[in-house]
Amino acid sequence: MTATPDCRICGGTLHEFFDFGRQPVADAFVDPAGGTEEFFHRLAVAMCTSCTMVQLLEDVPRERMFRTDYPYLSSLSTVMQEHFRGTARRLLDTELRDPGDFLVEFGSNDGIMLDTIRRAGRSHLGVEPSTGVAEAAAAQGIRVRNAFFEEETAAAVAADDGPAKVIYAANTFSHISYVDSVFRGVDALLAPDGVFVFEDPYMSDILERTSFDQIYDEHFYFFTVRSVQAMAAHHGFELVDAEWLPVHGGEIRYTVARPGVRTPSPAVGRFLEREKAARVTEPGTLTRFGANVDKVRDDLRALLERCRDEGRTVVGYGATAKSATLTNYCGIGPDLVSFIVDSTPAKQGRLSPGSHIPVRAPEAFADPYPDYALLFAWNHAEEIMRKEADFGRQGGRWIFYVPDVHTA
């Protein structure tokens, strides 16, 4: 591993352990008519030898990632709809019992979680930087502030609305390189007895499953319980709970509070012991991960090239942000995958970032069915395979690459 600049969390020494080379902005789908030059950046991952936080070495300007036309909508997945409704109901039962309690969600997307909070009559606010999805939430009656969450924004919310009993973020906090400003914002906005709850991909699961496509520009940090505990303490907070979630290929929901306000759950200690036993952030584990990534790349290319040479048709399923890392690192273009189907209207008719594979509406999948479907949206496999049962019944085969390359 190569020594690199200082850790963004604690200032410790970073050691690079994998480099995916030049990558595009993962959600910047390309207009085939041209006119806009693609932005590329170096996607390299390192670990801090002090706090063990895994992080990218270079961040992409936030305005390039979370644009007005940001195409991801949480509400398009029925699994995520139920997940966020369940999260809201749980927060209502545990933290928001008083009708006057106030919840702020940053990175609120199209408001799928906040809608349940709103319907329960609780005071709420979404802080969402992408104008398009913020407007979609506002159209549903959600209170939204179109801004990035940072110290200045949080202070303004506190002045306007008072303290928040809960500050919540899902698949958002790990996207933000400037965590110092976020924690200062949390400090300014959070009620004395309040909690900051966030859920993000779990580095232990990424290592175990070789789900390297989870590493892309939006995911700046890759949390473990140990690194989050250190990060919270560094910024004057305490990690008081941790819960594993099955969504998005494995996440942890972290609960952070002011020191001494909550008794830490035994779950925190159990996670720390498991991570230690699994040697999650030891150099040998990270080196093996790199070798596994290259094996997946080589095996997947070999399978796709064999399909092409045999005249088999292959279509991608799900134009996910994480598929940008896979296609660009593995050198997969339209010569190997004819097109990708996706239900997001903003992606349809465009080309995938970097690899320039056409994206089409879901109806194209069965017109006619391909021989193989490369499942980019593998974290929604159960939902997708139920929906596309006819594909299998007519002889179609799914190609998976997590945790290894195989067909089913």
The angle formed by the CA atoms of residues 377, 379 and 383, to the nearest 5 degrees, is: 85
Distance CA 338, CA 162 (A): 53
Task: Round to whole Å and give the CA distance between 178 and 184.
Answer: 10
Radius of gyration (C-alpha) of the chain in whole angstroms: 21
The values of phi and psi at residue 15, to 5°, are -120, 120
Question: Which of 387, 351, 391 lies closest to 369 in space, CA to CA?
Answer: 391
Contact call for residues 239 and 256 (beta carbons, < 8 A):
yes
Say if residues 107 and 172 touch (Cβ distance below 8 Å).
yes
Tell me how far apart the alpha carbons of residues 117 and 124 are, in angstroms, rounded to a whole number: 7
User: What residue ranges define each of the domains in the chain, with the CATH number in brackets?
Assistant: 2-50 (no CATH), 74-278 (3.40.50.150), 284-407 (3.40.50.720)
The whole-angstrom separation of Cα 371 and Cα 128 is 41
Quick one: pLDDT at residue 213? Answer: 97
Residues of the chain below pLDDT 70: 1-4, 67-73, 76
What is the DSSP code string of 159-218? HHH--EEEEEEES-GGG-S-HHHHHHHHHHHEEEEEEEEEEEEBHHHHHHHT-GGG-STT
Q: Taking the alpha carbons of 174, 178, 180, 184 in that order, is the dihedral positive or negative?
A: negative
**Tokens representing residue 363 in the block:** 């109806």
Confidence (pLDDT) at 68: 66
Q: Which residue has the tokens 């997945």?
A: 77
- State how far the Cα of 315 lies from the Cα of 76, in Å rounded to an integer: 21
d(CA 383, CA 76): 12
Single out the residue of 323, 342, 328 nearest to residue 211, CA to CA. Answer: 323
Residue with tokens 């109901």: 89
Neighbours of 315 (CB within 10 A): 22
Alpha-carbon dihedral angle through residues 326, 338, 33, 350, given to the nearest 10 degrees = -60
Query: According to the model, what pLDDT value does residue 64 have?
Result: 82
**What is this structure's pTM?**
0.93
pLDDT of residue 112: 92
Contact at 8 Å (CB) between 43 and 27?
no
Q: Which residues of 205-243 are buried (b: 16+ CB within 10 A; e: fewer)?
A: bbbbbbbbbbbbbbbbbbbbbbbbbbbbebbebbbbbbe
Triad 18, 20, 24: Cα angle to 5°: 145
CA angle 134, 199, 384 (to 5 degrees): 75
